[in-house]
């Protein structure tokens, strides 16, 4: 009993300082709020392209470019955020982890697929009108983010989904995978904001006075940028919260000795 | 002895999975590397403004604007990063915490001072030539970041440096302060990258072909943007590493029962 008590009271990962109880928040309502915010981001970027930028097509025109922001925000921010949060779902904590790994990998793969389509949209648009590719800081950063994401997905697939990786390699790679998960989302947020900013300067130029007079399009798309940041920061916050993390087999919680078990 | 052992072995915050030992890294060499990278960022942004953008003045001209990127990168990224890492210095872990709080607050205040000067530089430049202020997503986000930082500094000063805040309030506010610390750095990185991207489109316009032909200035300033992101991500990584965190008085480490003490 002494050993069980000593483990549980002072050092459970759920132990937090006095007062922290007032900040308790259940995951599922937060998740619903986050889902709503993600849907608002997708609706905003689609409405921007539909109402002010001429809608959508897949023919090398400016309407083809419009798929770029929609697919990038939907894939690299919203779907990516959903993939990152899979292990925070409380009903994923008990039972086998494998199905949740498959869901995590599948959502990330879907996000990657949308990102690749988003890249095809912008490269096709540039190539069709003879605009050079890959010169702006936004383009360097955005491509680097998607490349990092592809490495992250492949390394995660090989290490955690295929059965051949030894336990020591999984243990070594896991904190790296977790850290790069948050980092890639951060880089996606930077890419989206720099891209929206750049697009508004391109679209509302007339000597850049039109953007500077804050027409409704500028207010709408600036707000979209802030909403993407809010969504991303909330995902990063949920990922960092210790008490929303899945208890791991080698953690204290999982090995908890029930009171009385050792007496 | 049983109680002491039970506390130490399975649940020390330093406990990490097998294999993680291979990723051990001492803080001080990492810190030196980070300091070098921060110095490179300041040197790059200064060299960009000096060599390609006409140098510095404080007279409402384009040379006054040039203080804006230099002061923002130096204050909101490099000095801010240094302030955030104060409690990770191993020699700050023993002895009274108060002097390190003063250093943390003083570095953050210096960063805030540079950021305010950086805002004065860009507003004066705009006002002197009649350019509207605060219309781009970069400007909205940048100002929001500095405002959030000022709230964070004031709340931290009142809660942690003045003696009047009750312990429960400090315990309640501390995780919020820590989370917003990383968030504000993230927003500063987004602001810097969107600002560099925007400035290059402004400066290298000629119908935007000059930027698109990647002159040496574009390569140099794009690289600056990537270096700022690398610096910021490394700071966020150092802040998130559990084994670099200062042991708190109510944590397991600080209350560690030395082996044999209870026998």
Band (pLDDT 50/70/90 cuts) for residue B25 is: confident
Contact B197/A198, CB-based, under 8 Å?
A: yes
Interface of A with B in 216-255 (CB under 8 A): 218, 221-222, 225-226, 229, 233, 236-237, 240, 250, 252, 255
Residues of B in Cβ contact (< 8 Å) with A226: 137, 140-141, 144
The predicted model gives B218-230 an average pLDDT of 98
Q: Which two tokens stand for residue B31?
A: 């810190």
Quick one: how far is CA A68 from the chain centroid?
17
Q: What is the pLDDT of residue A19?
A: 44
- Contact between B204 and B255 under an 8 Å Cβ cutoff? The reply is no
pLDDT at B24 over 70: yes
Mean predicted confidence (pLDDT) in B167-196: 97
Q: Does the pLDDT value for residue B103 go beyond 50?
A: yes
Contacts 24+ apart (CB under 8 A), A124-130: A124/A60, A124/A64, A125/A60, A125/A61, A125/A62, A125/A64, A125/A65, A125/A68, A127/A60, A128/A60, A128/A61, A128/A64, A129/A60
Give the range with max mean pLDDT: A77-81, A245-249, B8-12, B254-258.
A77-81
Which residues in chain A land under pLDDT 70? Answer: 1-23, 206-209, 249-263
The H or E element spanning position B55 is none
Task: Assess contact for A231 and A73: CB atoms under 8 A.
Answer: no
Distance of CA A133 to the CA centre of its chain: 26
Mean pLDDT of B212-234: 97
Tell me what pLDDT residue A12 has. Answer: 42
Partners of B229 on chain A (C-beta within 8 Å) are 141, 187, 190
Domains of chain A (ranges, CATH numbers): 37-244 (1.20.120.1770)
**CA contacts within 13 A on the Cβ side of B67:** 20
Cα atoms found within 13 Å of the Cα of residue A137, Cβ hemisphere only: 33
Nearest to A11 by CA among B259, B178, B6: B6
CB A155, CB B243: distance < 8 Å: no
Helix (H, G, I), strand (E, B) or coil at B249: coil
Q: What ipTM was assigned to the predicted interfaces of this complex?
A: 0.89
User: Could you give the residue ranges of the DSSP H alpha helices within chain B?
Assistant: 2-11, 27-47, 62-65, 67-72, 80-84, 98-129, 137-156, 167-203, 209-212, 216-240
Closest chain A CA to residue B200: A136
Q: What is the DSSP string of A5-31?
A: HHHHHHH-TT---TTGGGG---HHHHH
pLDDT on residue B247: 87
Question: Do the Cβ atoms of B66 and B203 come closer than 8 Å?
Answer: no
Is residue B20 less than 8 Å (CB to CB) from chain A? yes
DSSP structure class, residue A93 = S
Taking CA–CA distances from B212, the nearest residue in chain A reads A135
Place of tokens 């750095």: B185
Q: pLDDT category, B210, cuts 50, 70, 90?
A: confident
Range in A11-15, A106-110, B71-75, B198-202 the model is least confident about: A11-15
pLDDT score recorded for residue B251: 52
- Chain B residues with CB-CB distance to A190 below 8 A: 189-190, 193-194, 229
Give the C-alpha distances (Å, rounded to integers) separating A249 from A94, A96, B189, B218. 11, 11, 36, 50
Residue B132 has a pLDDT of: 93
Residue B18: CB atoms within 10 Å: 12
pLDDT of res. A23: 59
Query: Which are the contacts of A90, defined by CB distance < 8 A and separation ≥ 6?
Result: A27, A28
* CA separation for the pair B118, B29 (Å, rounded): 31
Per-residue pLDDT band at B241 (split at 50, 70, 90): very high
* The two structure tokens encoding residue A193: 């904001």
Which of left, alpha, beta for A260 (phi over 0: left; psi -120 to 50: alpha)?
left
Provide the mean pLDDT of chain B. Answer: 88
Q: How far is CA B230 from the centre of its chain?
A: 12
pLDDT value of residue A31: 96
Q: What 8-state DSSP symbol labels residue A257?
A: P
For residues A245 and A13, the answer to whether their CB atoms sit within 8 Å is yes
pLDDT the model gives residue B6: 36
Whether A19 sits inside 8 A of B189 (CB atoms) is no
Q: How far apart are CA B149 and CA B155, in angstroms?
A: 10
Q: Is the pLDDT of residue B238 over 60?
A: yes
């Amino acid at each position: 009993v002494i050993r069980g008590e000593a483990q549980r009271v002072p050092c459970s990962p759920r132990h937090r300082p006095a007062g922290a109880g007032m900040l308790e928040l259940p995951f599922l309502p937060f998740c619903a709020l986050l889902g709503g915010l993600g849907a608002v981001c997708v609706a905003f970027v689609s409405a921007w392209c539909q109402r002010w930028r001429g809608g959508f097509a897949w023919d090398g025109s400016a309407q083809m470019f419009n798929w770029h922001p929609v697919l990038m925000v939907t894939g690299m921010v919203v779907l990516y955020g959903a993939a990152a949060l899979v292990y925070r779902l409380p009903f994923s904590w008990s039972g086998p982890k494998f199905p949740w790994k498959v869901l995590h990998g599948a959502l990330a793969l879907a996000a990657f697929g949308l990102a690749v389509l988003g890249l095809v949209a912008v490269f096709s648009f540039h190539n069709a009108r003879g605009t050079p590719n890959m010169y702006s800081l936004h383009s360097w950063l955005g491509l680097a983010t998607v490349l990092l994401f592809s490495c992250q997905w492949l390394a995660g697939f090989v290490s955690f989904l295929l059965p051949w990786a030894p336990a020591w390699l999984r243990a070594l790679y896991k904190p790296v995978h977790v850290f790069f998960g948050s980092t890639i989302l951060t880089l996606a947020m930077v890419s989206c904001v720099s891209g929206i900013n750049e697009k508004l300067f391109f679209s509302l130029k007339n000597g850049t006075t039109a953007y500077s007079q804050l027409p409704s399009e500028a207010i709408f798309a600036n707000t979209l940028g802030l909403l993407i940041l809010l969504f991303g920061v909330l995902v990063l916050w949920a990922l960092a919260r210790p008490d929303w993390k899945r208890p791991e087999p080698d953690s204290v919680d999982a090995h908890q000795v029930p009171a009385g078990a050792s007496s």
